[in-house]
Amino acid sequence: MIVTEPPSRTDGKQPSLQKAPLSRFLKRAQKAAGLDGEVTVLLADDARLKELNRSFRGKNKPTDVLSFPAFENEEGYAGDLAISLETAQRQAIEHGHSLEDELRTLMLHGVLHLAGYDHETDKGEMRALEAELREKLKLPTGLIERTLSAPKKRVVAKAKKTAVKKSPAKRTRR
Protein backbone atom coordinates (compact mmCIF):
# COMPACT_ATOMS: atom_id res chain seq x y z
CA MET A 1 0.00 0.00 0.00
CA ILE A 2 1.28 3.47 -0.89
CA VAL A 3 0.43 6.29 1.55
CA THR A 4 1.15 9.94 0.84
CA GLU A 5 1.50 12.16 3.88
CA PRO A 6 0.21 15.70 3.51
CA PRO A 7 3.20 17.88 2.60
CA SER A 8 4.55 20.52 4.93
CA ARG A 9 5.50 22.66 1.93
CA THR A 10 3.26 25.59 1.17
CA ASP A 11 4.66 26.57 -2.22
CA GLY A 12 2.35 24.16 -4.08
CA LYS A 13 5.24 22.34 -5.79
CA GLN A 14 4.27 18.81 -4.84
CA PRO A 15 4.79 16.18 -7.51
CA SER A 16 1.70 14.42 -8.79
CA LEU A 17 2.12 10.68 -8.53
CA GLN A 18 -0.01 7.78 -9.60
CA LYS A 19 -0.10 5.28 -6.76
CA ALA A 20 -1.39 2.28 -8.74
CA PRO A 21 1.76 1.87 -10.91
CA LEU A 22 3.97 2.32 -7.83
CA SER A 23 1.95 -0.32 -5.96
CA ARG A 24 2.29 -2.74 -8.88
CA PHE A 25 6.05 -2.13 -8.96
CA LEU A 26 6.26 -2.72 -5.20
CA LYS A 27 4.65 -6.15 -5.62
CA ARG A 28 7.07 -6.99 -8.47
CA ALA A 29 10.06 -5.88 -6.36
CA GLN A 30 8.85 -7.96 -3.40
CA LYS A 31 8.45 -11.03 -5.60
CA ALA A 32 11.90 -10.52 -7.16
CA ALA A 33 13.45 -10.15 -3.68
CA GLY A 34 11.55 -13.13 -2.26
CA LEU A 35 9.75 -10.99 0.32
CA ASP A 36 6.30 -12.20 1.33
CA GLY A 37 3.75 -10.13 3.21
CA GLU A 38 2.24 -6.68 3.10
CA VAL A 39 4.50 -3.63 2.78
CA THR A 40 3.32 -0.10 3.42
CA VAL A 41 5.21 2.78 1.81
CA LEU A 42 4.94 6.27 3.28
CA LEU A 43 5.79 9.04 0.82
CA ALA A 44 6.58 12.12 2.90
CA ASP A 45 8.79 15.21 2.92
CA ASP A 46 12.34 15.76 4.18
CA ALA A 47 11.10 17.07 7.53
CA ARG A 48 9.23 13.84 8.24
CA LEU A 49 12.15 11.63 7.14
CA LYS A 50 14.50 13.69 9.31
CA GLU A 51 12.20 13.14 12.27
CA LEU A 52 12.03 9.38 11.63
CA ASN A 53 15.77 9.13 11.00
CA ARG A 54 16.49 10.94 14.29
CA SER A 55 13.98 8.85 16.26
CA PHE A 56 14.97 5.44 14.94
CA ARG A 57 18.60 5.77 13.85
CA GLY A 58 19.89 8.67 15.95
CA LYS A 59 20.81 10.65 12.82
CA ASN A 60 19.53 14.22 12.81
CA LYS A 61 19.21 14.64 9.05
CA PRO A 62 16.77 13.71 6.31
CA THR A 63 17.43 10.64 4.22
CA ASP A 64 15.97 9.15 1.06
CA VAL A 65 14.56 5.82 2.32
CA LEU A 66 14.10 4.11 5.68
CA SER A 67 13.10 0.48 6.20
CA PHE A 68 11.19 -0.84 9.20
CA PRO A 69 10.98 -4.66 9.18
CA ALA A 70 7.97 -6.14 10.94
CA PHE A 71 8.41 -8.21 14.06
CA GLU A 72 8.60 -11.93 13.34
CA ASN A 73 5.27 -12.57 15.04
CA GLU A 74 3.33 -10.30 12.69
CA GLU A 75 1.94 -12.81 10.23
CA GLY A 76 1.37 -11.54 6.72
CA TYR A 77 3.15 -8.24 7.27
CA ALA A 78 6.70 -7.62 5.99
CA GLY A 79 7.21 -4.06 7.21
CA ASP A 80 7.16 -0.39 6.28
CA LEU A 81 9.20 1.92 4.08
CA ALA A 82 9.38 5.69 4.39
CA ILE A 83 10.60 7.67 1.37
CA SER A 84 11.26 11.39 1.08
CA LEU A 85 9.64 12.81 -2.05
CA GLU A 86 11.83 15.90 -1.81
CA THR A 87 15.07 13.92 -1.68
CA ALA A 88 13.82 11.54 -4.38
CA GLN A 89 13.09 14.50 -6.66
CA ARG A 90 16.57 15.99 -6.12
CA GLN A 91 18.22 12.62 -6.75
CA ALA A 92 16.14 12.04 -9.89
CA ILE A 93 17.29 15.36 -11.30
CA GLU A 94 20.90 14.71 -10.25
CA HIS A 95 20.94 11.30 -11.94
CA GLY A 96 18.92 12.29 -15.02
CA HIS A 97 15.83 10.13 -14.67
CA SER A 98 12.18 10.53 -13.64
CA LEU A 99 10.85 10.85 -10.12
CA GLU A 100 8.95 7.60 -10.66
CA ASP A 101 12.19 5.77 -11.54
CA GLU A 102 13.85 7.18 -8.43
CA LEU A 103 10.93 6.09 -6.25
CA ARG A 104 11.11 2.60 -7.75
CA THR A 105 14.86 2.48 -7.09
CA LEU A 106 14.30 3.54 -3.48
CA MET A 107 11.50 1.01 -3.04
CA LEU A 108 13.68 -1.82 -4.34
CA HIS A 109 16.48 -0.80 -1.97
CA GLY A 110 14.06 -0.68 0.96
CA VAL A 111 12.47 -4.01 0.04
CA LEU A 112 15.90 -5.64 0.07
CA HIS A 113 16.47 -4.28 3.58
CA LEU A 114 13.06 -5.66 4.64
CA ALA A 115 14.14 -9.01 3.21
CA GLY A 116 17.11 -9.00 5.59
CA TYR A 117 19.93 -7.64 3.43
CA ASP A 118 22.28 -4.98 4.79
CA HIS A 119 24.93 -3.44 2.53
CA GLU A 120 26.61 -1.82 5.53
CA THR A 121 27.50 -5.19 7.08
CA ASP A 122 27.46 -7.82 4.33
CA LYS A 123 30.24 -8.64 1.92
CA GLY A 124 28.57 -7.26 -1.20
CA GLU A 125 25.59 -9.63 -1.30
CA MET A 126 23.00 -6.84 -1.24
CA ARG A 127 24.94 -4.83 -3.81
CA ALA A 128 25.09 -7.77 -6.22
CA LEU A 129 21.43 -8.67 -5.74
CA GLU A 130 20.31 -5.06 -6.11
CA ALA A 131 22.27 -4.74 -9.37
CA GLU A 132 20.75 -7.99 -10.69
CA LEU A 133 17.22 -6.95 -9.74
CA ARG A 134 17.64 -3.42 -11.10
CA GLU A 135 18.48 -4.92 -14.46
CA LYS A 136 15.57 -7.36 -14.28
CA LEU A 137 13.17 -4.59 -13.25
CA LYS A 138 14.66 -2.10 -15.75
CA LEU A 139 15.79 0.47 -13.21
CA PRO A 140 18.63 3.03 -13.40
CA THR A 141 21.72 3.01 -11.19
CA GLY A 142 21.05 1.87 -7.63
CA LEU A 143 21.82 3.52 -4.33
CA ILE A 144 24.77 1.35 -3.42
CA GLU A 145 26.55 1.95 -6.75
CA ARG A 146 25.97 5.70 -6.40
CA THR A 147 27.51 5.70 -2.94
CA LEU A 148 30.51 3.67 -4.05
CA SER A 149 31.14 5.74 -7.18
CA ALA A 150 30.60 9.15 -5.56
CA PRO A 151 33.75 11.10 -4.73
CA LYS A 152 34.50 11.49 -1.07
CA LYS A 153 33.35 14.84 0.34
CA ARG A 154 36.78 15.78 1.67
CA VAL A 155 38.35 15.26 -1.74
CA VAL A 156 35.69 17.40 -3.43
CA ALA A 157 36.04 20.15 -0.82
CA LYS A 158 39.82 20.10 -1.19
CA ALA A 159 39.54 20.32 -4.98
CA LYS A 160 37.20 23.32 -4.69
CA LYS A 161 39.57 25.05 -2.27
CA THR A 162 42.51 24.46 -4.63
CA ALA A 163 40.51 25.75 -7.60
CA VAL A 164 39.62 28.95 -5.71
CA LYS A 165 43.27 29.56 -4.78
CA LYS A 166 44.38 29.11 -8.38
CA SER A 167 41.56 31.22 -9.81
CA PRO A 168 42.73 34.57 -11.25
CA ALA A 169 39.30 36.14 -10.61
CA LYS A 170 39.01 39.07 -8.22
CA ARG A 171 38.21 38.26 -4.67
CA THR A 172 35.45 40.19 -3.00
CA ARG A 173 34.93 40.57 0.70
CA ARG A 174 31.56 40.34 2.30
- pLDDT on residue 157: 42
Dist. CA 103–CA 41, nearest whole Å: 10
- pLDDT on residue 19: 85
Q: Across residues 123-139, what is the average pLDDT?
A: 88
Query: Residue 95's closest CA among 127, 140, 155, 135?
Result: 140
For the stretch 56-71, pLDDT in tens is 999 999 999 999 999 7
99-114 and 85-95 are packed helices; what angle lies between their axes, rounded to 10 degrees? 120
For the stretch 65-94, pLDDT in tens is 999 999 776 678 999 999 999 999 999 999
Q: The whole model's pTM is what?
A: 0.75
Q: Does domain 2-149 have CATH number 3.40.390.30?
A: yes
Residue-range domain boundaries for the chain:
2-149
For the stretch 103-115, pLDDT in tens is 999 999 999 999 9
- pLDDT on residue 152: 46
